[in-house]
Structure 1
Amino acid sequence: MAQSFSVDELKTRMHKTIASLRDELGGLRTGRASASLLEPVTVDAYGSKMPLNQVATVSVPEPRMLSVQVWDRSMAGAVDKAIRNSGLGLNPMTEGAVIRVPLPELNEERRRELSKVAHNYAEQARVAVRHIRRDGMDLLKKLEKDGIMGQDEARGLGDKVQKVTDDAVSEIDAVVAAKEQEIMQV
């Protein structure tokens, strides 16, 4: 069976990479509280590790405070421990089934560290986009070599792949620049 080539399929894969980058950056702590900050936290609940959002509701009552409403009151201790051990530098306060998580001010050094982490995430996304581009170009070369596609058609599609790649990389740059500005904002 002959393989087919689709620029749209490559574009979709690149957009998924960018969406993944946005999710990763959403978990980075900035000066403002965000419910997505606690998404990577997993809780030892009922004999297994579960995402925090499967045992509690996270809300943002104030700009520098998260509120975690635990559904099963007996899980409050485990949720508190999971947040403390998450590596996010947070110090939760438990009040019954509600856990308040104040967000401390970020100092300049911590802001720079977070900015570097954001740039690492962006570089990983750029590499993923380049891999997708390489896959597309390899398929074009194979189709041309096998005589399924003419040289001119392959070149034209190759140019489209390059344009889609350039667009994706510039979108990644814009996303990380916006996140960096948010991190550095005092």
Structure 2
Amino acid sequence: MDLDTIILETDERMQKSTDYLQRELRGLRTGRASTALLEYIKVDYYGSHTDLRELAAISVSEATQLVVKPFDPGAKHEIVRAIETSGLGLNPMADGNIIRINVPAPSSERRKQLVLQVKKLAEESKVAVRNERREANKAIDAAVADKKNPIPEDSAKSAKEDIDEMTKKFCDALDVVAVKKCT
């Protein structure tokens, strides 16, 4: 494998770690209503577990209120039950064919828990990025040691420096995402 391929694949895998963190953070409740809070709640719909976003239109009506409009009005009770049991601490209210959900601001204790959870997720993502760096460095070392088509030492050193810079860039980006979510 050549150095450019190693660097490109490492960049892609590090980007996936960043994307994972952003996706996970979307589901954390911080006090502001967000449709991402409910999108992946599983609803028992005719015996199969289906994402809420596939069963209803989710919108933000006010800064602290979400509105869920089921495509099938008969699924309203299952949707309410799924939201109540989701562990998000939300209390849905059925209002005709729509469901209103007030998103209360988290208590100071809950906010501290959220900050800890954000930091934990960010650290897990950083560890994943560092693991990708380690794997890339192993691949570079293997390419240098390859008997058939060895790579020059100076090229390998330059590639390792590029990967270190990439790792720092991704770790800094993960820190920015985490700080943004905490504030």
Superposition TM-score, scaled by structure 1 size: 0.93
State the match for 2:170 in structure 1.
168
State the match for 2:39 in structure 1.
39
Residue type of the alignment partner of 1:151:
E
1:133 and 1:114 map into 2 onto residues whose CA distance is 29
State the match for 1:152 in structure 2.
154
- The gaps in structure 2 that reach 5 residues or longer are none
State the match for 2:61 in structure 1.
61
Contact 2:69–2:99 (8 Å) recurs in 1: yes
State the 4+ residue runs in structure 1 displaced beyond 3 angstroms.
Answer: none
Deviates more, 1:141-150 or 1:80-89: 141-150
Q: Aligned ranges for residues 16-165 of structure 1 at < 5 Å?
A: 16-147=16-147, 148-165=150-167
1:107 and 1:95 map into 2 onto residues whose CA distance is 27
- The gaps in structure 1 that reach 5 residues or longer are 182-186
1:140 and 1:8 map into 2 onto residues whose CA distance is 13
State the match for 1:4 in structure 2.
2
User: Residue deviations 1:75-125, cap 9 Å, x none?
Assistant: 000000000000000000012321100112211111000011101110110
2:62 and 2:112 map into 1 onto residues whose CA distance is 25
Q: CA deviation at 1:159?
A: 0.5
Contact 1:42–1:82 (8 Å) recurs in 2: yes
2:124 and 2:28 map into 1 onto residues whose CA distance is 15
2:105 and 2:129 map into 1 onto residues whose CA distance is 35
Superposition TM-score, scaled by structure 2 size: 0.94
2:69 and 2:41 map into 1 onto residues whose CA distance is 15
RMSD: 1.0
2:46 and 2:156 map into 1 onto residues whose CA distance is 56
1:78 and 1:168 map into 2 onto residues whose CA distance is 41
1:53 and 1:124 map into 2 onto residues whose CA distance is 27
